[in-house]
Structure 1
Amino acid sequence: MRILVVGAGAVGGYFGGRLLEKGEDVTFLVRAARAEKLARDGLTIHSPAAGDFHHDAPATVTTAHVKPEYDLVLLSCKAYDLEQAIEDIAPAIGPQTTILPLLNGMKHLQHLDERFGAERVLGGQCVIAATVDAEGIVRHLNASHGLTYGERDGSESARIAAITRAMEGAKFDQRASRQILQDMWDKWVFLATLAGMTCLMRASVGDIARAPGGRETMLAFLETCRGVAHAAGHAPHEAAMARTLAMLTDESSSLTASMLRDLEGGKAVEADHVVGDMLSRVANGVDATVVRAAYAHLKAYEARRTS
C-alpha cells in the first residue's frame, strides 16, 4: 500500500513515522522548507512511552510534483488549513485513492465529499498529545496514540482490511470501527466542551471543577453538545458519556485542550470547526448561552490576533 501523509508535523509526523518504522511505503507531502530539513536532519520521534525512532531520509514530495499514485492519503491538517490541503492533495487522488481524514469535528467531511466524492472519504479520528519542537523533532507527550478509521456506512470493505494490514504492528493503537461516525461524534462532544470551556476560563479542567459554579457551567456546555449529537442521531452511548463526565469534572485534573495552548501561544485556533459548527447546529429554543460565550471569546481572540 502506497501511503501519502499530508504534513510531517505532530500528527502526520508521528503516525506516518510509525508506519515508516514498521516498513510501510510512506511519503510525506510537505512544503519545500520542511522537505529540505527532513533531507538534512531526517525524521525523529521522541516518545518515552513507545520508544524513539529516527529515519535518516524519509521520502517527501511537494505539491508541485505530487502524482496520483497513492492508495491512501492520511489527512491530518488543522481545520483552518483544510481548504489549502484539499488543493494540495487533489493531484494525488487517483482512481483507487482513499482519503482518511483525522480532523476534529464533522464539517470537513462535507468539504471533502464535495471535492472528491463521498465514496473516497472514510471516517477517522486520532487521539494523541504531540508537538514539534524548535529542532523539528516530533515529541510524543504521553501514552495516548490511537487512530480509528472505518467506512461511514458501517460496512466492512476490502480497503479497510488493507488499511488494517498496513497499520497492524505499528507502534500506535489502531482500530477499524463499524461505527466510526458515532466515534467521531463522541469525540467532538467531548472536545468541543473541553476546548470551549478551558479557553473561555483560561484554566484546566481541575481549576474549573473547583471554582464556584465551574462544574455546573461545564455540565451546561456538555449538555448543549450532547443535545446536538442526539438531534443528529448520534447521542453518546452511556459508557462514552460516563467517561466524558468523569474527565470533565475531575477536580484533580490538569487537562486542557490543545486549543488553549495554541491560544496562549498566539497561534491560530480551530474556533469555527470545533465550537462554531457545534453552535450552528443547536436547535432553536435550546439554551446555548455558555457555548455562545465560548465561541464569542474565540472569535474575539481571532479578530485581535489578525488586526
Structure 2
Amino acid sequence: MRILIAGAGATGGAFGTRLFEAGRDVTFLVRPTRAEKMRANGLRFAAPGEDRTNTVPVVTAAELAEHSDPSADLIIVAVKANGLESVIADLTPAVGANTMIIPFLNGMAQIDLLEAKFPGQVLGGLVKIVGTIKDEAIVQMTDMAIMTIGTLNSSPMPTAIAEALEVPGYKLQILDRINDALWEKWIFIAAAGVVTCLFRAPIGPIMAAGGQPHVIAIVDELEAIAAAAGHPISEKGRAMTLSMLTEEGSAFTSSLYRDVTAGLPSETEHILGDLARTAHDLGVETPLLDLTLVQLRAGESAH
C-alpha cells in the first residue's frame, strides 16, 4: 500500500516514522524548504528512550504533479488547520479512484472540506500524542501514542488499511462510531481553548481566581452543541474534560492559547469559529463561545 503523508510535523513525523520503520511504503509531502532539509539531513525522531534519524522519501507538490504515477492508496493529512486548503490542492494529483484519505486534525471542518472534494473517499481519524518540533527534530514527549480511525458511515474499515496502519510504536484503535469520537475531542479542544483564552491564563491560576463555576458553564454550553448535533458527550468524556480544566494548581494551557499568546497563526476559526457556526445552525445559544471569539478576532485584527 502506497502511503502519502501530507506534513512532517509533530504528528505526521512521529506516526510516519513508525510506519516507515515498519517497512511501509511511505512518502512525505512537504514544502520545498522542508524537503530540501529532509533530503540533506533525514528525519530525526526522538521519543522517551529513543533517538535516531531516517532517510525517508519526500516529495513536493510540484514534483507530485509532474510524477508519471502520483496516485497513493492512502493519504494521511497531518497539517495545521491554516494549511489545510492549500495542502488539499497539493495532494489532489495523488488521489485516484480508490484512494482513501484520513485527516488528523481537530474539529470537523476538515471532514466537510475533504468530503466535498473527494466524496466517499474520506475516513475519520484522530490521534493522541504529545509532540513538538525542536531543532528540526520530531520529539514525542511521552509514551502515549494512539491512532484512532473509523469509517464515517459505520461500515467496516477496509482490511488493507487496518493492516497497513497496525505497526509497533503506537496503539491503533478502530471505532464503529468515529464521528462521536471526533465530536468528543472537538468539544474538549474547544473548551480548553475557550477557558484559557477567555481568562488568559493556565488552569491553576483560573481556579485560584474563582473560575470553576465559569469553566463548568463553558463545558455545559459546548456540550449542548454536540448533543444538538446528535453526538452527545459521554459521561467519561465529560469527566475527563472537567478533571483537566478544573485541576487546582495545574499548568495546563490549550494549544490555541499558546499560539495566540506567542503571536503565531492559530486555529481560532477552525476550532471555535466553525463550532460557533454549527451552534448557530442548530439553534444553540453560545454566549461564552461568542465572547471568546470576539476577543480573539479583535486581538488578531489589532496585529
Q: CA deviation at 1:100?
A: 0.2
Question: Cα distance, 1:36 vs. partner?
Answer: 1.0
Q: Which runs of 4+ in 1 moved over 3 A?
A: 283-287
Q: Distance in 1 between matches of 2:267 and 2:294?
A: 13
| Equivalent residue number for residue 24 of structure 2 | 24
- Match of residue 205 from structure 1: 203
1:269 aligned partner = 266
Q: Deviations over 1:126-151 (max 9, x none)?
A: 12221112x21011122332211110
Query: Residues 287, 93 of structure 1: CA spacing in aligned structure 2 closer, same or farther, 3 A cutoff?
Result: closer
Structure 2 CA distance for partners of 1:209 and 1:72, relative to 1, 3 Å = same
* Contact 2:71 2:93 (C-alpha < 8 Å) held by counterparts: no
CA drift at 1:86:
0.9
> Distance between the aligned counterparts of 1:102 and 1:3, measured in 2?
14
- Tell me if structure 1 keeps the 8 A contact 2:18–2:167: no
1:19: how far off?
1.0
**1:127–1:146 contact (8 Å) kept in structure 2:** yes
Superposition map of 1:210-225 within 5 A: 210-212=208-210, 214-225=211-222
Query: Offset at 1:74?
Result: 0.3
Report Cα offsets for 1:140-195 as digits up to 9, x if no partner: 122332211110111213x2x22221222331122111110000000011110001
Matched with 2:139 is 139
- Equivalent residues in 2 for 1:63-102 (5 A)? 63-66=61-64, 67-102=69-104
Cα distance in 2 for residues equivalent to 1:141 and 1:254: 16
Query: Is 1:289 the counterpart of 2:284 in the alignment?
Result: no
Q: Pick closer, same or farther for the CA change 1:69–1:295 going to 2, 3 Å.
A: same
- CA distance in 2 between partners of 1:241 and 1:195 (Å): 16
2:50 aligned residue? 51
Alignment equivalent of 2:228, drawn from 228, 231, 251? 231
Instruction: Determine the C-alpha separation between the residues in 2 that align with 1:288 and 1:114.
Output: 27
Q: Scaled by the length of structure 1, what TM-score is found? A: 0.92
Question: Could you list the per-position Cα deviations for residues 202-249 of structure 1 after superposition, in whole angstroms to 9, with x for gaps in the alignment?
Answer: 21122222222x111111111111000000000111222222221221
**Kept after mapping to 1: 8 A contact 2:44/2:51:** yes
Could you give the per-residue CA deviations for residues 54-108 of structure 1, whole angstroms, max 9, x where no partner exists? 20x2100111121532111000111121110110111110111100001111112
* C-alpha RMSD over aligned residues: 1.6
Partner residue of 1:179 out of 177, 193, 197: 177
Question: Does the 8 Å contact 1:217/1:290 carry over to 2?
Answer: no
Separation in 1, partners of 2:130, 2:197:
17
Question: Deviation of residue 22 (structure 1)?
Answer: 1.6
Q: Which residue of structure 2 aligns with residue 243 of structure 1?
A: 240
Query: How much has 1:31 moved relative to structure 2?
Result: 1.2
Aligned pairs, how many? Answer: 298
CA distance in 2: counterparts of 1:168 and 1:252, whole angstroms: 38
Q: What residue identity is the alignment partner of 2:155?
A: S
Aligned pair in 2 of structure 1 residues 304, 143: CA closer, same or farther (>3 Å)?
A: farther
Greater CA drift, 10-19 or 182-191: 10-19
8 Å Cα contact 1:2-1:72 kept in structure 2: yes
Q: Matched residues in 2 for 1:94 and 1:240: separation?
A: 37
Overall identity of the aligned pairs, in %: 38
Contact 1:268 1:302 in 2 (8 A): no
Counterpart of 2:275 in structure 1 is 278
* Gapped regions of structure 2 (runs ≥ 5): none
